[in-house]
């Protein structure tokens, strides 16, 4: 499994260097929900730190006049049934 994570890490670095932006999915804003439905410990805490690091590396999302991402971080927070994502409006 470490080999897969290493591959994904370097693939991510390559993509950032190639395109200059990051698109990521964010599922849960609550560790308990993430553990219950995805079996993942500390999902929110780890995801939050990872997103901070990605932002540190590439900064705000910058788009051209057509709305095409040029660089930065774009987070897609997935909306889950029955409010499971923890999204507050």
Residue 89 lies in a domain: no
DSSP characters for 50-82?
HHHHHHHHH-S-EE-TTS-EEEEEEEEE---GG
Residues 6+ apart with CB under 8 A from 79: 85, 87
Q: Is residue 88 part of a domain?
A: no
Tokens coding 61: 């999302």
Domain for residue 74, yes or no? yes
Parent domain of 22: 2-83
pTM over 0.85: no
Q: Please indicate, yes or no, if residue 20 is contained in any of the structural domains.
A: yes
Q: How does pLDDT run across 22-45, given as a tens digit for each residue? A: 777 788 888 998 898 888 888 888
pLDDT tens-digit map of 36-72: 888 888 888 888 888 888 888 888 989 889 988 888 8
Q: Which among 29, 35, 34 is positioned nearest to 75, based on CA atoms?
A: 29
The number of distinct structural domains making up the chain is 1
């Amino acid at each position: 499994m470490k080999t897969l994570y290493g591959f994904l890490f370097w693939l991510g670095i390559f993509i950032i260097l190639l395109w200059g932006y990051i698109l990521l999915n964010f599922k849960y804003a609550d560790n308990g929900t993430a553990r219950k439905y995805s079996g993942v410990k500390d999902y929110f805490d780890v995801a939050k730190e990872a997103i901070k690091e990605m932002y540190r590396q590439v900064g705000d999302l910058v788009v051209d006049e057509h709305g095409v991402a040029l660089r930065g971080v774009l987070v897609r927070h997935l909306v889950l049934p029955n409010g499971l994502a923890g999204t507050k409006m």
